[in-house]
């Protein structure tokens, strides 16, 4: 190829990855680490410019992400080294005959057939495993091609398994090397920006998206609860001017359980606590459940009872209101549930929430998990065949701080901080990781 000056500016951690001679590089990195920039130079300098008539692919989970890498390649390749470009096919042919393709993994079967010298899989944790095992890895076999598999983690999926290959001492994986870096390892990022984001994110999301930690989901959502023993109603101290009760009610009929939890809120001389003082978990016809809920409410002075109105909830809540229960409606939609859970996580992290111990509640909190879809949105739920009714009952009671407690001293501060936990997914999703550079050529040149 032509003798052209080609300057590469990598930060130290990017350079560490680039300098590795491993055939398969597995890179787990936090958001804004600079993985797109690194991957573009890796594919050009380790394959495109030195393998005449070769073929290299950049594969991303979806078309939108493919366009990010495509723009980056067009930005950094000098025009003098380009023989042909087809925008519609996302194809560049270099003057040495090497072909560069930007591909989407939406349909893994479309990735079959081509023999490859190099492949980059960007955001690999969001790509289906069969794209690697049945298409891309076999395509590297005949040419002994190389790969960079790079992503922010998404639980313990196939990307995690591949990452373990790179830290294994098994000679079978001698050609693999794994790297793990956080967003803080990018010196071009202002640490204060990352810190502000840390304050907005739930702890487990921060660990995964910023620190690039692999989380199982189960047991990673909540900290260890602060346990208290159940106290007989007759032995509870009377309320004073610093205390009141609040309740959370998660409704169910046949398959799941109805859980009614009551907490005592106390705020005095800087001490804030929400201590669970009552919980019942039961099933049955509504004609039996409603009087049971009403009796418990009356025993504690009929405190505000926060209840989900989703699905069958509204007619039941209406019946509870007619029965004299001091019910407060919350529509726990798919967008509202993360806010409820984030609020409960925050209060548990602050050691404000304390719950009555039993094995059932311990199992629910331990098993409670989160998943992240391809768009980056967090979904909280119990694993299949498990329950989350106690967790949801507690979350509903904890939501009282948004409607009752802001007028009571310290909770004004807590509400401000908790409001930030309903974060914007755009804050942590890499839609463009590139540095600002001039694009040297385009189809119009």
Q: Where are the beta strands (DSSP E) in 182-257?
A: 226-228, 243-250
Q: Are residues 181 and 243 in the same domain?
A: no
Q: How many CA atoms lie within 13 A of 183 on its CB side?
A: 26
Q: Are residues 268 and 412 in the same domain?
A: yes
Q: Where are the beta strands (DSSP E) in 21-153?
A: 24-29, 55-60, 82-86, 91-94, 99-104, 118-122, 146-151
Q: pLDDT digit of tens for each residue in the chain (445 aa)?
A: 556 666 778 999 999 999 999 999 999 999 889 988 898 889 998 898 989 999 999 998 888 888 888 888 888 888 888 899 898 888 899 999 999 998 888 888 888 877 899 999 999 988 989 999 999 999 999 899 999 999 998 877 899 999 999 999 999 999 999 999 999 999 999 989 888 888 777 777 888 889 999 876 545 678 778 999 989 888 999 999 889 999 999 998 566 799 999 999 998 877 889 999 999 999 888 899 999 999 999 999 999 999 988 877 788 999 999 999 999 999 888 788 888 988 898 888 888 999 999 989 988 888 787 765 545 566 777 666 678 899 999 999 999 876 665 443 333 333 333 333 334 444 444 434 443 444 445 444 4
Cβ pair 115, 143 in contact under 8 A = yes
Q: Are residues 300 and 365 in the same domain?
A: yes
> End-to-end alpha-carbon separation of the chain, Å?
21
Q: How many CA atoms lie within 13 A of 161 on its CB side?
A: 5
Residue 33, CA distances (Å) to 74, 87, 110, 150, 433 in order: 21, 28, 30, 11, 8
Q: Are residues 132 and 178 in the same domain?
A: yes
Q: Are residues 167 and 108 in the same domain?
A: yes
Query: pTM of the prediction?
Result: 0.60
Q: Are residues 190 and 239 in the same domain?
A: no
Cβ pair 51, 98 in contact under 8 A = yes
In angstroms, rounded to a whole number, what is the distance separating the alpha carbons of residues 290 and 323? 8
Torsion of CA 260, 366, 158, 42, to 10 degrees: 100
Q: In this structure, is residue 437 part of a structural domain?
A: no
Considering its fold, how many domains does the chain have in total?
2
Q: What is the pLDDT of residue 56?
A: 92
Neighbours of 262 (CB within 10 A): 24
Q: What is the pLDDT of residue 120?
A: 94
Q: Are residues 172 and 265 in the same domain?
A: no
Residue span of the structural domain in which 167 resides: 12-209
Neighbours of 285 (CB within 10 A): 9
Question: Please, what is the angle between helix 411-419 and helix 336-349, to 10°?
Answer: 130
Q: In this structure, is residue 268 part of a structural domain?
A: yes
Q: In this structure, is residue 218 part of a structural domain?
A: no
Q: In this structure, is residue 433 part of a structural domain?
A: no
Q: Are residues 145 and 282 in the same domain?
A: no
Q: In this structure, is residue 87 part of a structural domain?
A: yes
Q: In this structure, is residue 219 part of a structural domain?
A: no
Q: Are residues 205 and 306 in the same domain?
A: no
Q: In this structure, is residue 237 part of a structural domain?
A: yes
Q: What is the pLDDT of residue 338?
A: 85
Q: Are residues 295 and 377 in the same domain?
A: yes
Residue 68, CA distances (Å) to 47, 59, 310, 374 in order: 20, 11, 39, 16
Torsion of CA 340, 345, 347, 351, to 10 degrees: 160
Q: Are residues 109 and 81 in the same domain?
A: yes
Q: In this structure, is residue 353 part of a structural domain?
A: yes
Q: CATH number of the domain at 113, please.
A: 3.40.50.300
Q: Are residues 198 and 297 in the same domain?
A: no
Q: How many CA atoms lie within 13 A of 169 on its CB side?
A: 0
What is the β-pairing status of strands 146-151 and 118-122? parallel
Q: What is the pLDDT of residue 366?
A: 81
Q: What is the pLDDT of residue 424?
A: 44
Q: CATH number of the domain at 364, please.
A: 3.30.420.240
């Amino acid at each position: 190829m032509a003798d052209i000056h080609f300057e590469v500016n990598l930060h130290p951690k990017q350079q560490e990855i680039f300098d590795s001679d491993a055939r398969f590089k597995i890179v787990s990195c936090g958001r804004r680490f600079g993985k797109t920039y690194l991957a573009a130079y890796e594919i050009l300098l380790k394959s495109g410019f030195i393998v005449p008539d070769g073929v290299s692919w950049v594969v991303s989970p979806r078309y939108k992400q493919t366009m990010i890498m495509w723009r980056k390649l067009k930005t950094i390749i000098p025009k003098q080294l380009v023989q042909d470009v087809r925008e519609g096919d996302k194809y560049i042919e270099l003057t040495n005959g090497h072909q560069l393709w930007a591909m989407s993994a939406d349909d893994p079967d479309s990735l079959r057939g081509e023999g490859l010298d190099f492949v980059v899989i960007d955001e690999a944790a969001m790509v289906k495993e069969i794209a690697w095992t049945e298409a891309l890895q076999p395509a590297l076999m005949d040419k002994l091609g190389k790969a960079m598999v790079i992503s922010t983690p998404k639980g313990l999926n196939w990307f995690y398994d591949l990452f373990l290959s790179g830290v294994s001492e098994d000679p079978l994986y001698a050609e693999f090397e794994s790297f793990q870096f956080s967003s803080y390892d990018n010196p071009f990022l202002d640490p204060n920006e990352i810190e502000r984001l840390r304050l907005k994110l739930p702890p487990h999301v921060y660990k995964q998206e910023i620190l690039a930690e692999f989380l199982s989901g189960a047991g990673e959502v909540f900290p260890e609860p602060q346990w208290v023993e159940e106290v007989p109603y007759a032995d509870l101290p009377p309320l004073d001017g610093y205390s009141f009760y609040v309740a959370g009610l998660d409704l169910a009929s046949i398959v799941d359980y109805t859980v009614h939890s009551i907490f005592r809120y106390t705020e005095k001389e800087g001490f804030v606590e929400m201590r669970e003082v009552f919980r019942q978990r039961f099933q049955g016809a509504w004609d039996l459940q409603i009087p049971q809920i009403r009796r418990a409410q009356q025993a504690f002075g009929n405190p505000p009872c926060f209840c989900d109105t989703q699905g069958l909830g509204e007619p039941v809540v209406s019946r509870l209101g007619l029965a004299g229960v001091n019910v407060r409606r919350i529509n726990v939609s798919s967008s509202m549930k993360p806010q409820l859970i984030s609020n409960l996580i925050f209060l548990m992290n602050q050691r404000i929430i304390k719950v009555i111990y039993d094995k059932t509640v311990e199992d629910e909190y331990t098993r409670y998990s989160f998943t992240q879809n391809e768009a980056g949105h967090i979904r909280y739920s119990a694993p299949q065949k498990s329950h989350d009714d106690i967790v949801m009952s507690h979350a509903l009671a904890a939501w009282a701080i948004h409607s009752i407690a802001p007028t009571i001293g310290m909770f004004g501060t807590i509400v401000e901080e908790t409001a930030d936990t309903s974060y914007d997914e755009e804050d942590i999703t890499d839609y463009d990781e590139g540095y600002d550079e001039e694009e040297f050529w385009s189809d119009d040149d």
